[in-house]
Amino acid sequence: MSTLEQATARFAERDIVLVGEEGDGTIFLACPADGVDASRLARLHELGRGMVVLGLPEPVARRLALPAPWRGAGPPGELALTAPIDATAGIEGGWSLEDRALTMRVAADPDSRSSDLTIPGHVYPALVGEPPEHGPSAALELARLSGRAPAVALCAVLDRRGRAASLRDARADERFRRLPVAPAAELRSGWITRHAGELSISCSLPTRGAAFRAVGYAPAADDPPTVALVHGDPASCESPLVHVHVGCLFGDAFGSLLCDCRSRLDHATSEIARAGAGVIIYAKPKQPTPIACVRDEPIDAASVAGLLRAVGVSELRLVAGGRHERLSDELRGCGLTVAR
Ligand SMILES: [Zn+2]
């Protein structure tokens, strides 16, 4: 069972899981809000040390007529909090963990309406968007995968000094040893796989080297697209050839001899044509860079993995050459099988 499968199974059973990935400034503990009770809230407080909030997607917030957040979410880990709520019926004062758990369950109930909640109250809802970029949105994706209602009790993890803890800090902490970790990168790539069909464009693209089907995917209008060039039927191969190419203006468009990007692209095209099937992923670096060769810049591996899975590739081997070690690890972290 993979790490994600374990986390999904535990979450379905209303267990607390850690959500996040290396590099996140803040990681979160999460459990399904539709199954939260006083003892789980107490455990979240005890383990996480941070503030416990209720993560909701925007459609649920709209159904409950929650006010717009005071400000949008900033960097990953910051939450877009809206006005605190209480359940309209069944609570006594609102402060106790029993009362707050009941309020969360009422807000998570798909049949609840705005009249079932009062404002102000004692539970802070946080609006959580898509795609799953960080812990809170990954927790909502985990709720969907595990068949729970789209609502999560969230607690930021703090260290003994009250500072935001990283995944590495949490892994070193004995108290978290038995908690499953839901990998945000894999949850994000799964989300992209599901949505690539709705959001991507696809057309045939004959080139000098081979005939491709081009599938472009961008999660939002102002995001740089990731493009998959699909040759043949890679889904029918056991481990089709894949080349992940970081777009290089001078190399790819002008054939610059200052780097080997163009020759690597040509080599990958001929290898894939010879194999009869395969995929070239044309990715943009994570950070905008000056006009220069960017072949060694970090890329969004979750987008690459999500798009590969969307075109039918979950096991692959990389075309020889290039920075395979890091890329292979990143793709494996998103749930793909990469031949060694
Ligand atoms: Zn280059």
- Give me the tens of pLDDT residue by residue for the chain, a chain 340 residues long: 778 999 999 999 999 999 988 877 889 999 999 999 999 999 999 999 999 999 999 999 999 999 988 765 555 556 889 999 999 999 999 999 999 999 999 999 999 999 999 999 999 999 998 778 788 999 999 999 999 999 999 999 998 899 999 888 888 888 888 899 998 889 989 998 888 766 677 899 999 999 999 998 876 767 778 899 999 999 898 899 999 999 888 899 898 999 999 999 999 999 999 999 999 999 887 776 667 787 778 888 888 999 999 999 999 999 987 667 888 999 998 999 999 8
Q: In whole angstroms, what is the distance from residue 122 CA to residue 289 CA?
A: 45
Ligand 1: centre distance to CA 291 (Å)? 10
Ligand 1: centre distance to CA 328 (Å)? 20
Ligand 1: centre distance to CA 250 (Å)? 6
Order of all β-strands in the sheet with 49-56: 80-81, 125-127, 49-56, 152-157, 28-32, 17-20, 181-183
CATH superfamily, region 200-338: GTP cyclohydrolase II (3.40.50.10990)
Q: Provide CATH code, domain 3-184.
A: 3.90.870.10
Q: What is the DSSP letter of 234?
A: G
Ligand 1: centre distance to CA 71 (Å)? 40
Ligand 1: centre distance to CA 298 (Å)? 14
Ligand 1: centre distance to CA 261 (Å)? 4
Closest to 4 (Cα-Cα) out of 183, 189, 143: 183
Ligand 1: centre distance to CA 244 (Å)? 13
Ligand 1: centre distance to CA 189 (Å)? 26
Ligand 1: centre distance to CA 246 (Å)? 8
What residues contact residue 248 under an 8 Å CB cut-off, 6+ apart?
Answer: 256, 259, 261, 262, 293, 294, 295
Ligand 1: centre distance to CA 61 (Å)? 46
Ligand 1: centre distance to CA 286 (Å)? 16
Burial of 334 (0-12, 13-18, 19+ CB in 10 A): buried
CA angle 129, 135, 140 (to 5 degrees): 55
Q: In whole angstroms, what is the distance from residue 107 CA to residue 117 CA?
A: 7
Using the structure block, give the residue that is written with the tokens 């464009």: 201
Ligand 1: centre distance to CA 295 (Å)? 6
Question: What phi-psi label fits residue 262: left (phi over 0), alpha (psi between -120 and 50 degrees) or beta?
Answer: alpha
Ligand 1: centre distance to CA 251 (Å)? 5
Closest to 180 (Cα-Cα) out of 189, 172, 171: 171
36 to each of 5, 62, 117, 158, how far by Cα in Å?
Answer: 21, 22, 17, 21
The H or E element that residue 312 is part of is none
Ligand 1: centre distance to CA 225 (Å)? 18
Ligand 1: centre distance to CA 249 (Å)? 7
CB 82 within 8 A of CB 105: no
Ligand 1: centre distance to CA 269 (Å)? 16
Question: Could you state, in order of their start, the residue ranges of all structural domains in the chain?
Answer: 3-184, 200-338
> How many CA atoms does the CB half-sphere of 23 hold within 13 Å?
9
What residues contact residue 187 under an 8 Å CB cut-off, 6+ apart?
Answer: 4, 132, 138, 141, 142, 145
Ligand 1: centre distance to CA 129 (Å)? 35
Ligand 1: centre distance to CA 293 (Å)? 4
Report strand pairing: 241-246 vs 315-318: parallel
Helices (H), the chain: 3-12, 38-48, 58-63, 97-108, 135-145, 167-172, 184-199, 254, 261-275, 301-310, 324-333
Q: How far is CA 311 from the centre of its chain?
A: 19
The predicted pLDDT at position 77 comes to: 53
The predicted pLDDT at position 222 comes to: 72
Ligand 1: centre distance to CA 282 (Å)? 13
Ligand 1: centre distance to CA 336 (Å)? 26
